[in-house]
Amino acid sequence: MINNINKAFESRVRLGVMSVLMVNDWMDFNSVKDLLEVTDGNLSSHITALEKLNYIEIRKEFVAKRPKTSYRVTQEGRKAFSDHLSALENLLNGLT
């Protein structure tokens, strides 16, 4: 059971990114940044890590001639995050 605790989600920022993307379709970088209250550099390094794991996908486009990057959780990411949540819950239920 403890094996299901996903090391990828140990960071507060990654956990936050996944939480936000689970309930929103295509969120842009700045919206995620405002919600999590983190710096640009911090957020982008965690996003890169999540992308490498194939947990999120990235879309780049131009809105009013300015680049806009948006993110969406993948099927794989959704499953990984749900498993992580169940593992957390199980762990808590087991301990109390």
Partner 1 sequence: MENKSHIEQLAEIRSLMERSSRFISLSGLSGIMAGTYALIGAIIARLYIKNSETYMEFIEGYSTRYVATSWSEYKIFILLGVAVAALSIVTGLLLTMRRAKKNNQNIWDKSALRMLVNLAIPLAVGGVFCTILLYQGYIGMVAPATLIFYGLSLVNGSKYTLDTIRHLGIVEIIIGLIAAVDLGNGLFYWALGFGVMHIIYGTAMWWKYERKQVGA
Dihedral class, residue 42 (left if φ above 0, else alpha if ψ from -120 to 50, else beta): alpha
Q: Using the minimum distance from each CB to partner 1, give the nearer residue, 34 or 60.
A: 34
Q: Which residues bind partner 1 (CB under 8 A)?
A: 12, 15-16, 19-20, 22-24, 27, 31, 34-36, 85, 88-89, 91-92, 95-96
Beta carbon nearer to partner 1, 60 or 96: 96
Q: Give the shortest CB-26-to-partner 1 separation in angstroms.
A: 10
Q: How many CB atoms lie within 10 A of CB 81?
A: 21
Between 49 and 87, name the residue whose CB sits nearer to partner 1: 87
**Could you tell me if 87 and 4 are in contact, meaning their C-beta atoms sit under 8 angstroms apart?**
yes
